[in-house]
Amino acid sequence: MNTLSRLFNHHSLWALLLLITLLSYMLAEDSVQSEVTGLILTLTAVKGALIIDGFMELHGVRHWVRYLMHLYCPLLALLIWAVLQI
Amino acid sequence: MWIFIAAELSVFALLFLLFSYLRASDRELFLLGQQNLHPVAGLINTVALITASWFVVQALVINRKSQHRRAVLWMLGAQLAASVYVVVKCWEYWQLGSAGYDLDSNSFYTGYFLLTGFHLLHVLLGMVILALVSIKLYQGGYPPEDCAGLESAACYWHMVDLVWVLLFPLIYVIR
């Protein structure tokens, strides 16, 4: 049952990642506005978090590796957004 | 493995920031360059890599149930999805090359070819790693209680996926 629920979670995660990708793609035309750019980068950070916790199976792990990995996407997205505003 | 992944992610982070800085320095040039790219190709590649990652996770889950032969099938699926990425990326390069664009054309194409080319090399390395672990997996070399090698290979692959997830909006989506 546990494995079954894990399988289901991975299926859902895959579908969710594709959904977020499509959403980002549809925002492309409006991404000249910095708010939309910010939204796209936020969605990207969410995708990163899903990959780290779901696919890399770090969900629930209490270790500095997970904290650092979770810091990577939001921090990089924020830095990219800041650099693009120059 | 995690230190190696951290080092790889740091290099890509620097490249992303450099690309963003160049873009901010000459927005018009980057918008013109972006118009010659195929966003649908970027979308297909994103779907291919996310699907490949999903297949790799499924292989791990199935292997934990001691069904290593079935796990190999999921690994083959991952290779197939990754091959879609490679074919589409090579097609993009061929299209741009035919139109006369290369590394030296301008800073957009330098950034584009360097970033995507460096990532493509990681995908190809990932495919080789997945192929090697698949052979060992087929031979029953990763029993559920000792599959750290398989998990490390999977983590490397997910890192490659994670990098593309950041690369896709930066190059194809954000205008």
Q: How far apart are CA B54 and CA A10, in angstroms?
A: 7
What the block records as the tokens of A4 is 């079954």
- Tens digits of per-residue pLDDT, B86-143? 999 999 999 999 999 999 889 999 999 999 999 999 999 999 999 999 999 999 899 9
State whether B162 and A68 contact (CB < 8 Å).
no
Q: How far apart are CA B61 and CA A66, in angstroms?
A: 20
pLDDT-derived band at A1 (thresholds 50, 70, 90) equals: very low
Q: Which CATH architecture has domain B2-173?
A: Up-down Bundle (1.20)
ipTM: 0.89
Total structural domains in chain A? 1
State whether B169 and A57 contact (CB < 8 Å).
no
Per-domain boundaries in chain B: 2-173
What the block records as the tokens of A9 is 């979670």
* Domain residue limits at A34: 2-84
Write the DSSP symbol of residue A55: I
Name the residue type at position B63: N
* Phi, then psi, of B39 in degrees rounded to 5: -60, -30
Give contacts of A72 with chain B, Cβ < 8 Å. Answer: 9, 13
- Tens digits of per-residue pLDDT, B41-94? 999 999 999 999 999 999 999 999 989 899 999 999 999 999 999 999 999 999
Q: How far apart are CA B122 and CA B107, in angstroms?
A: 22
**Contact between residue A53 and residue B162 where contact means Cβ atoms under 8 Å apart:** no
